[in-house]
Amino acid sequence: MKWFSLLINLLIDMDETNESSKQDWILKVKKLYKNDEKRLRQIAEIENNYNSLQAVTLYTRDMFVYDLLNTMCRQRNIEWIVSFRFLIVDLYRQLRYEQQQQQESSTTIFYRGQLMSHDEVDFLQKETAFNHCNAIHY
């Protein structure tokens, strides 16, 4: 995965506007989905309404963007990954901002999933203000 980190850093450092990058991507996905009306409507929505503060929302929406980007990353398709640069850079910046806000606002402790005895769970809940657990399996 080191190659991917290097590529992300390169994309972030590229001297290009996001709008130009987005337009390149729009042309590419329109060509890919030229016979799919549903996808073409989604592409038009992105083309007309997207802004950089919506990167996480776009990526996590129930549409083709998530699947296409992840497929291209798994295939190591550099051409397509570079075409996604506007979104990748916006995702990076938005997530970095959210991380900084989280670090400034509070401390959160995450526990890795592992087997615990009843006594250990009771201790965590009583003594450490442990207030959330996805699942406790005894």
Decide if 6 contacts 14 (C-beta within 8 A). Answer: no
More confident: 16 or 3: 3
Rounded CA gap, 105 and 112, in Å?
22
Report which secondary-structure segment, H or E, holds 64: helix 64-74
Q: What is the pLDDT of residue 102?
A: 80
pLDDT at 27: 96
Among the listed residues 106, 130, 104, 105, the one whose alpha carbon sits nearest the alpha carbon of residue 116: 130
Residue 138: pLDDT band with limits 50, 70, 90: very low
Paired tokens of 131: 């207030």
pLDDT at 79 (0 to 100): 92
Q: What is the pTM of this model?
A: 0.68
Q: Which pLDDT band holds residue 134 (cuts at 50, 70, 90)?
A: low
Q: What confidence tens digit (pLDDT) does each residue in 6-59 have?
A: 877 888 887 666 788 899 999 999 999 999 999 999 999 999 999 989 999 999
Q: What is the pLDDT of residue 111?
A: 62
Mean pLDDT of 57-77: 93
- For 73-129, the pLDDT digits (tens) are 999 999 999 999 999 999 999 999 988 888 777 666 666 666 778 888 788 777 766
